[in-house]
Amino acid sequence: MKRRALRGGAGQLNTLKKVLRHIGRYKYLVFVSLALSAATVVLTLMVPILVGRAIDGIVGAGEVRFDVIWPLLWRIGVCVALTAAGTWVMNVVNNRVTFDVVRDLREEALDHIQRLPLAYIDSHPHGETVSRVIADADQFADGLLMGFTQLFTGVLTILITLVFMFAQNPLITLVVVGVTPLSLFVARFIARRTYAMFRLQSETRGEQTAFIDEMLGNLKVVQAYGQEAAQTRRFDEINERLRDCSLRATFFSSTTNPSTRFVNSVVYALVALAGGLAALSGGAMTVGTLTAFLSYANQYTKPFNEISGVVTELQNAIACAARLFELIEAPTQMPDAPDARPLERVEGRVTWSHVNFAYTPQRRLIEDFNLSVQPGQRVAIVGPTGCGKTTLINLLMRFYEVDAGAIRVDGADIRGIPRASLRAAYGMVLQETWLKSGTIRQNIAMGRPDATDAQIIAAAKAAHAHSFIMRLPDGYDTVIGEDGGQLSQGQKQLLCISRVMLCGDEAVPDAEGLSLPPMLILDEATSSIDTRTELKIQSAFARMMKGRTSFIVAHRLSTVREADVILVMNDGHIVEQGNHAALLAQNGFYARLYNSQFAGTGFESGA
């Protein structure tokens, strides 16, 4: 337990250093905040002195010295007005620093996410990652803002008040300082034990966000299988855990304030007792001075209560910041080689040489894979689910890196080609469609934002999407929501096909003004399209693929019959290779797979 606490303390210190580095970017604003904080504290502490002098100006009944009191009241008013103005400006500056720091962290997180390897994204729930960037950043902002507004002012109040108190009565001040460590010890004792609780709370909140994101994204499946009650129970279980850890964290952290308040009350009582005795003894302590001193004692102890509350919030903020920094510091994908050379005038020759790959070391997926694709060839990749078809595409695009062997494009190892250049050489249409919030026009032109309206319409017509787009309320200017909104799956896929028609080299458009990339990847590109439209799309694809190296991944074997080469995969190996007629004539694995789709017979991988 002690070792775990030490590790937690080191982790907190590490996170705090990173936070301070980010705050350091705004050191001038921080300096202004500190200066204003010091000024408001001094002005606030001037008021008790002036009040004390005004009290001393009341000598007795009928002996009020208004010539002394009125100027003091004016000075008190000026001090209060300047304090209010300084506090307002200080809060504005603190808000600016806080939200600029959080903005920077979110920008870093989003930029870093885009450079993370796909393996990280695949192995972490999306909702949990979203929770780090949104919820944890918000919690961090709350704690950081409280730290600026109360921690700085509180510490300065304590230090400057001590100076004022020493100037008034050093002996009583020593009594106050002697009791102070007890308050600090209590706050530190509780704070060290609440960090782990707030960390668990933040992690559980991320788990809850991930679960909600998963349920919303798959609500149709949940309802179709009647899993509403089971998922509600699962949510309740996570919610209960979140409630329990939140209650523990809040309860233990909330004991800080009353504990320090008790110590501070003891301090105030000691000051009142010592000051009262000093005033009665006829020394230098007057009633007005005692009033000011009691006010200082209250001013001195009050920040300890505030700081104890700030410490609680900071524990939560640091725990959230730690999770955010974990995301920002997660290892990024292997950077492009320093001598990487972009592709030029791509011919489309792709070769695989003794390629090995596995998502996990325990299960090898692709072993000693060899393949040579000539420019302009149409290569279909077929096989049972899980045989490695989509994995080949991931490796082609460098979404994952090969474990051994090499993949070459036009003779160049793809690890020596910048990712942006490599991916620009391919046009991809995936089974999983992705559309962003925006207009139909913006979604089609995503790969080429400067495309003209005529080019966008030509791409939509080539993909047979123009007719349904024109039936939408605002045509190409129709705004769709996240992931396509109310569009059908087939319509969304047609828009994705339209998009690939524009993502090639604009310097070499075809006869219809379309700019097609030199190589194509069609991964179940027509899986959500009806048979009639699919026939039209197949003709569009045939025109697209003419003279271009194309990789076609398909489960429906009717879509690959015209391919130049069909690769039949099973368990990460090419088990057969040839054109459709030749493979049927072999009456082997492909023939059984093909016949199973049309004869209605069962088929098992490895049969």
Does residue 79 lie in a domain region? yes
Distance CA 215, CA 206 (A): 14
Average pLDDT value for residue range 476-490? 78
C-beta neighbour count of 545 within 10 angstroms: 21
- Reply yes or no on whether the pLDDT at 81 is more than 70: yes
State both tokens at 556. Answer: 């429906």
- Reply yes or no on whether the pLDDT at 605 is more than 50: no
Provide the sign of the torsion angle of the four alpha carbons 555, 560, 563, 567, taken in this order: positive
Distance CA 495, CA 262 (A): 68
Residues 6+ apart with CB under 8 A from 414: 396, 398, 406, 407, 408, 422
| DSSP conformation class of 606 | T
Is the domain of 475 the same as that of 351? Answer: no
- Reply yes or no on whether the pLDDT at 601 is more than 60: no
State both tokens at 119. Answer: 């393996």
Which of the given ranges, 9-13, 255-259, 313-317, 505-509, has the highest pLDDT on average? 313-317
State both tokens at 125. Answer: 């729930």
What is the DSSP track for 447-503? T-TT--HHHHHHHHHHTT-HHHHHTSTTGGG-EE-GGGTT--HHHHHHHHHHHHTTS
- Reply yes or no on whether the pLDDT at 472 is more than 50: yes
Does residue 488 lie in a domain region? yes
Is the domain of 195 the same as that of 133? Answer: yes
Identify whether the C-beta of residue 43 lies closer than 8 Å to the C-beta of residue 82: yes
Q: What is the pLDDT of residues 138-187, one digit of tens each?
A: 878 877 777 766 777 777 777 887 887 777 777 777 777 777 667 667 76
Is the domain of 385 the same as that of 276? Answer: no
Last residue of a domain, one of 299, 328, 357: 328
- Reply yes or no on whether the pLDDT at 530 is more than 80: no
Does residue 592 lie in a domain region? no
Distance CA 269, CA 278 (A): 14
pLDDT of amino acid 392: 83
Average pLDDT value for residue range 368-377? 85
Q: In the chain, how many H helices and how many E strands?
A: 21, 12
Does residue 593 lie in a domain region? no
Does residue 606 lie in a domain region? no
- Reply yes or no on whether the pLDDT at 84 is more than 80: yes
Q: Which domain holds residue 505?
A: 428-554
Is the domain of 393 the same as that of 496? Answer: no
Identify whether the C-beta of residue 106 lies closer than 8 Å to the C-beta of residue 324: no
| DSSP conformation class of 571 | T
- Where is average pLDDT lowest: 55-64, 423-432, 552-561? 55-64
Is the domain of 226 the same as that of 116? Answer: yes
Per-residue confidence at 257, pLDDT binned at 50, 70, 90?
Answer: low
Is the domain of 378 the same as that of 505? Answer: no
Is the domain of 366 the same as that of 392? Answer: yes
CATH of the domain at 548: 3.40.50.300
Does residue 297 lie in a domain region? yes
Is the domain of 196 the same as that of 275? Answer: yes
The partner residues of 363 in beta bridges, in order of sequence, read 360
Does residue 602 lie in a domain region? no
Is the domain of 147 the same as that of 290? Answer: yes
Percentage of the residues of the chain whose pLDDT score is greater than 70: 82
Distance CA 342, CA 77 (A): 71
Identify whether the C-beta of residue 317 lies closer than 8 Å to the C-beta of residue 139: yes
CATH of the domain at 25: 1.20.1560.10
State both tokens at 516. Answer: 């097609």
Last residue of a domain, one of 296, 328, 360: 328
Distance CA 359, CA 365 (A): 7
pLDDT of amino acid 333: 78
Is the domain of 83 the same as that of 222? Answer: yes
Distance CA 405, CA 304 (A): 64
Is the domain of 306 the same as that of 362? Answer: no
Per-residue confidence at 283, pLDDT binned at 50, 70, 90?
Answer: low
pLDDT of amino acid 508: 47
Percentage of the residues of the chain whose pLDDT score is greater than 90: 0
Does residue 225 lie in a domain region? yes
Domain count, the chain: 3
Its pTM stands at 0.62
Is the domain of 229 the same as that of 359? Answer: no
Buried b / exposed e along 265-294 (16+ C-beta atoms within 10 A) = eebbebbeebbeebbeeeeebeebbbbbbb
Last residue of a domain, one of 367, 391, 424: 424
For the chain, the straight-line distance linking the first and the last C-alpha, in angstroms and rounded, comes to 55
